[in-house]
């Protein structure tokens, strides 16, 4: 393998569209190997062929998530094509061809890409967050769409868009002064709803930027990126318990604090400061599923209905008085992403109704019945292992509850990790007489015997590969009838 020169700003090849690869020749394989060597040396997250002077539709990405389970080994993409995308993430990003520059961009939050691997096999990968951004970035390179041309660097962005630098608050006389505290994309619909409702957002508190990707690039939380795009004041304290935060709170002087998946426990002095206290959008119908993972646990437990609760925060964990509830149905095939998206929208609507009731003086509190409470513990790696001695229905619920992240997993007979992205129940009740975990059919799906019934694995993420349909995995002769998954 050889380290190639990375072309930078000013080289016209970056402005030329790439041609598709017609045949995967030894020369193409050598280029993939050289690009890998170049990416490793440069310490980046991705590299496209035009960045090394080759006008072919080839890109590579090496992504390290926040945990080993989230990470992907090198992904090699030949003739990649985006076939689906949704959502937005407004973030700063870097590029090896534009060293020492940070570009403010609008990328899809979720993306599905179809491509060929180095063996010429058609593959498909569905990604979210940082990996979705990286895929979009590298594919743009292949079509001569440069991130620098899309949106100017953040340092210039607000100067060129003065209307975003300071928001004019409608209903100035009646607007409530609200401090928003949130971090992930789940919180954005609520922040957006508040922004559009005409209330005065005096500031946005979010978590500090965190290093992501192979190059450990500092990446802002989704809430920060969205708030900056709207010209809102953003603060990223490392703690809410010191004198500095107390001074900031006094300076902003909110009448109400709205908290959505902020990620830190608030001390009593913060809870007590605003006139109307602190209210929280919680992703369950309290008092059920208090804790860190209410959406996932509801699906895993086979619940048919979930929802959001707006609660008045107290010093306990999700133990405050309930102010407003709204239910959402969990369909049989809904996974964590589906419920996450439904509840983020439902939560925003519920929060706005709650604020209206508070302003009108019509808010009624309801105490939680602690005897009915359940706890939704944080998802651990041990929760993700598929135990095929359980029923097909239990396994189906587990797979749905942990997809698209962190994903359930099992192991093939050769010991390799096999994550499961989707599944369906073939048989709920029959005891089929096969060993639990035994592969009983490979007719386009991986049908596995369970303690009760059978389940078909329809989407998988093999070790070292991208996401793919089960039939693609089967065609690669990676599994046989009679194999035991465990």
Q: Which of 14, 135, 137, 311 is catalytic?
A: 137
- Is-contact 352 196, C-beta < 8 A? no
Q: Vertex 448, ends 443 and 452: CA angle to 5°?
A: 135
Residue 70, classed as helix, strand or coil, is helix
Q: Which of 62, 64, 138, 445 is catalytic?
A: 138
Residue with tokens 């194999």: 483
Told to judge if 46 belongs to the known catalytic residues of this protein, a careful annotator would answer yes
301-306, long-range: CB within 8 Å, 24+ apart, which pairs?
Answer: 301/397, 302/393, 302/394, 302/397, 303/330, 304/329, 304/330, 305/329, 305/330, 306/330, 306/339, 306/343
Told to judge if 51 belongs to the known catalytic residues of this protein, a careful annotator would answer yes
Told to judge if 340 belongs to the known catalytic residues of this protein, a careful annotator would answer no
The H-assigned helical ranges of 238-335 are 243-252, 268-272, 294-300
Residue 105: both structure tokens together = 């961009």
Told to judge if 182 belongs to the known catalytic residues of this protein, a careful annotator would answer no
Q: Which of 4, 39, 44, 46 is catalytic?
A: 46
First CA to last CA distance, the chain: 37
Instruction: Name the helix (H) or strand (E) containing 148.
Output: helix 147-150
Q: Which of 4, 39, 77, 141 is catalytic?
A: 141
Query: 427: exposed, middle or buried (C-beta count within 10 Å: 0-12, 13-18, 19+)?
Result: middle
- Burial profile 107-135: b = 16 or more Cβ within 10 angstroms, e = fewer: bbbbbbbebbbeeeeebbbbbbbbbbbbb
Q: Which of 32, 47, 51, 386 is catalytic?
A: 51
Told to judge if 137 belongs to the known catalytic residues of this protein, a careful annotator would answer yes
- Name the residue among 263, 351, 259, 278 with its Cα closest to residue 308: 351
Told to judge if 411 belongs to the known catalytic residues of this protein, a careful annotator would answer no
Residue 381: both structure tokens together = 């790696």
Q: Which of 18, 47, 96, 485 is catalytic?
A: 96
Residue 204, classed as helix, strand or coil, is strand
Residue 384, classed as helix, strand or coil, is helix
Q: Which of 39, 47, 77, 95 is catalytic?
A: 95
CA torsion sign for 441, 443, 447, 453 is negative
Residue 56: both structure tokens together = 């072919």
Instruction: Give me the active site residues, please.
Output: 46, 51, 95-96, 137-138, 141
């Amino acid at each position: 393998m050889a380290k190639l020169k990375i072309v930078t700003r000013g080289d016209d090849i970056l402005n030329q569209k790439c041609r598709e690869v017609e045949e995967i020749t030894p020369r193409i394989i050598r280029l993939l190997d050289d690009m890998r060597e170049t990416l490793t040396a440069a310490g980046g997250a991705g590299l496209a062929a035009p960045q090394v002077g080759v006008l072919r539709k080839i890109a590579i990405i090496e992504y390290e998530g926040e945990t080993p389970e989230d990470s992907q080994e090198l992904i090699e993409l030949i003739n990649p094509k985006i076939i689906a995308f949704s959502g937005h993430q407004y973030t700063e990003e870097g590029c090896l061809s534009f060293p020492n520059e940070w570009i403010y961009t609008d990328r899809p939050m979720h993306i599905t890409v179809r491509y060929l691997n180095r063996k010429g096999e058609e593959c498909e990968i569905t990604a979210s967050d940082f990996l979705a951004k990286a895929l979009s970035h590298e594919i743009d390179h292949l079509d001569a769409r440069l991130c620098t041309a899309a949106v100017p660097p953040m340092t210039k962005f607000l100067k060129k868009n003065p209307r975003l630098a300071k928001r004019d608050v409608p209903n100035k006389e009646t607007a409530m002064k609200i401090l928003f505290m949130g971090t992930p994309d789940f919180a954005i619909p609520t922040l957006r709803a508040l922004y559009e409702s005409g209330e005065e957002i005096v500031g946005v508190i979010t978590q500090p930027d965190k290093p992501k990707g192979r190059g450990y690039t500092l990446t802002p939380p989704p809430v920060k990126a969205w708030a900056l795009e709207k010209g809102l004041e953003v603060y990223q304290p490392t703690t809410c318990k010191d004198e500095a935060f107390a001074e900031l709170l006094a300076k902003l002087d909110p009448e109400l604090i709205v908290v959505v998946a902020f990620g830190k426990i608030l001390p009593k002095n913060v809870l007590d400061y605003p006139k109307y206290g602190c209210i929280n959008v919680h992703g369950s119908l309290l008092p059920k599923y208090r804790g860190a993972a209410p959406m996932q646990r509801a699906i895993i437990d086979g619940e048919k209905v979930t929802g959001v609760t707006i609660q008045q925060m107290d010093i306990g964990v999700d133990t405050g008085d309930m102010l407003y509830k709204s239910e959402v149905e969990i369909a049989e095939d809904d996974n964590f992403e589906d419920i996450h998206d439904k509840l983020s929208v439902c939560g925003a609507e519920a929060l706005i109704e709650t604020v209206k009731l508070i302003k009108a003086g019509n808010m009624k509190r309801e105490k939680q019945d602690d005897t009915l409470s359940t706890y939704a513990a944080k998802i651990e790696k041990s929760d993700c292992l598929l135990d095929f001695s359980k029923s097909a229905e239990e396994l189906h619920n587990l797979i749905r509850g942990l997809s698209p992240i962190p994903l359930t997993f099992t192991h093939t007979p050769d010991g390799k990790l096999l994550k499961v992205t989707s599944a369906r129940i073939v048989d709920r009740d029959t005891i089929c007489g096969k060993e639990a975990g035994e592969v009983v059919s490979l007719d386009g799906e991986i049908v596995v015997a369970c303690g009760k019934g059978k389940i078909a694995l329809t989407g998988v993420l093999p070790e070292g590969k991208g996401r793919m349909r089960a039939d693609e995995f089967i065609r690669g002769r990676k599994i046989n009838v009679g194999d035991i998954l465990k």
